[in-house]
Amino acid sequence: MPNFHGSYLPTITPFTAGNEVDVAGIHANVDWWINEGTHGLIPGGSAGEFLQLSDDEYRLMVAETVEAAAGRVPVIVGITSDSTADALSKAQFAEEVGADGTMLAPPYYSQVDASELEAHFRDVAQGSALPMMVYNNPFTTGVELTPQFLAELGKSEDNVKYVKDTSYNVQRVIEINDLSGGEIKVFAGLLGYESIVVGAVGWVSIPGLVVPALSAALAEAALSGDLQRAAKLHAAVFPLMKIEEDTGKFVQIPKAALNLMNRAAGSPRAPRRDLAGAELTRLREILAQVQATQGTLVGTS
């Protein structure tokens, strides 16, 4: 079982001016993120607009991300689907192209009961040899995966050893570690600094898409126990976290920021729209502030 830890990025899917998947942009972004110290990549998640991609586009994006990473960092592929068969097909494709793991959230529309939910995760886990990161995101899916559920799933399925927990409750990190005997490792979806302090092994960082060096340094400092440095890095990246929290625009914010930085992003696909007006003005100000602070803290800009 690989040792996933640190700052993992839920990669955006860049689009060309013609609204096609920007393959060159994928490679350019992946190179930059890795060179800035990013510890791992997660294509095919919410920030990657997986629901707005055709099957062919999804497979292209995943394959190109794995190819661009070239084994330098782990690639965990988002395989979430409301269909168990589709999620399993995505897991098997991820394995075929050489990914290092998969990430699966609950069905988000079917309103499954507890036994159906358990079977969904077990069927997909058993259909692929790749390690699976279970994704708890009750804000989006409407399904709360309890620490007890996660611990039991980890005990029954050898390749389920990670969870991305997107909640504002860091107590869950302690509960998951306790109930699983430390067998289920937690990545924070929110509150990366606070979660690592109480036992998480990393965070899935949307701000890291824009300031990857800051995000990686924060994770490294917190994991090493240098909490004073970690707190400074957390304070530096917090304005980006705050605008994402205030707006809920976890696709539009990083894409707009990357566009402002002349990096590959393009527009989000409908129904989302480009960031504009007061929100874009606020982002410009935050980006300038964060980039200046980053240069001081990690020696990059």
Question: What confidence tens digit (pLDDT) does each residue in 216-225 have?
Answer: 999 999 999 9
What's the confidence (pLDDT) of residue 278?
98
Q: Is residue 13 part of a domain?
A: yes
Residue 80 has φ and ψ, to the nearest 5°, of: -60, 135
Residue 75 known to bind ligand: no
When comparing pLDDT for 271 and 110, which is higher? 271
Q: Is residue 175 part of a domain?
A: yes
Q: Is residue 1 part of a domain?
A: no
Q: Is residue 74 part of a domain?
A: yes
**So which residues are the catalytic ones?**
135, 164
What's the confidence (pLDDT) of residue 140?
86
Print burial letters for 234-267: b (CB count within 10 Å at least 16), e (below 16).
bebbebbbebbeeeebbbbbbbbbbbbeebbbbb
CB-CB contact of 212 with 36 (8 Å): yes
Q: How many CA atoms lie within 13 A of 98 on its CB side?
A: 11
Residue 174: pLDDT band (50, 70, 90) is: very high
Q: What is the rounded CA–CA span in Å between residue 69 and residue 41?
A: 8
When comparing pLDDT for 15 and 138, which is higher? 15
Q: What is the rounded CA–CA span in Å between residue 43 and residue 271?
A: 20
Q: Is residue 97 part of a domain?
A: yes
Strand order in the sheet with 76-78: 40-41, 6-9, 202-204, 185-188, 160-165, 132-136, 101-104, 76-78
What's the confidence (pLDDT) of residue 1?
74
Residue 243 has φ and ψ, to the nearest 5°, of: -65, -35
Inform me whether the pLDDT recorded for 273 exceeds 70.
yes
Task: Tell me which of 75-79, 85-89, 294-298 is least confident.
Answer: 294-298
Domain containing 216: what range?
A: 6-298
Inform me whether the pLDDT recorded for 145 exceeds 50.
yes
Q: Which residue has the tokens 């809920």?
A: 248
Q: How many domains does the chain have?
A: 1
Stated as kind and residue range, the H or E segment containing 188 is strand 185-188
Inform me whether the pLDDT recorded for 236 exceeds 90.
yes
What's the confidence (pLDDT) of residue 301?
45
Q: Is residue 196 part of a domain?
A: yes
Q: Is residue 269 part of a domain?
A: yes
Inform me whether the pLDDT recorded for 272 exceeds 70.
yes
Residue 299: pLDDT band (50, 70, 90) is: low
CATH number for position 83: 3.20.20.70
Percent of the chain with pLDDT over 70: 99
Inform me whether the pLDDT recorded for 247 exceeds 80.
yes
Cα dihedral across residues 264, 267, 271, 272: positive or negative: positive
Chain-wide mean pLDDT for the chain? 96
Inform me whether the pLDDT recorded for 294 exceeds 50.
yes
Each residue of 116-137: pLDDT tens digit? 999 999 999 999 999 999 999 9
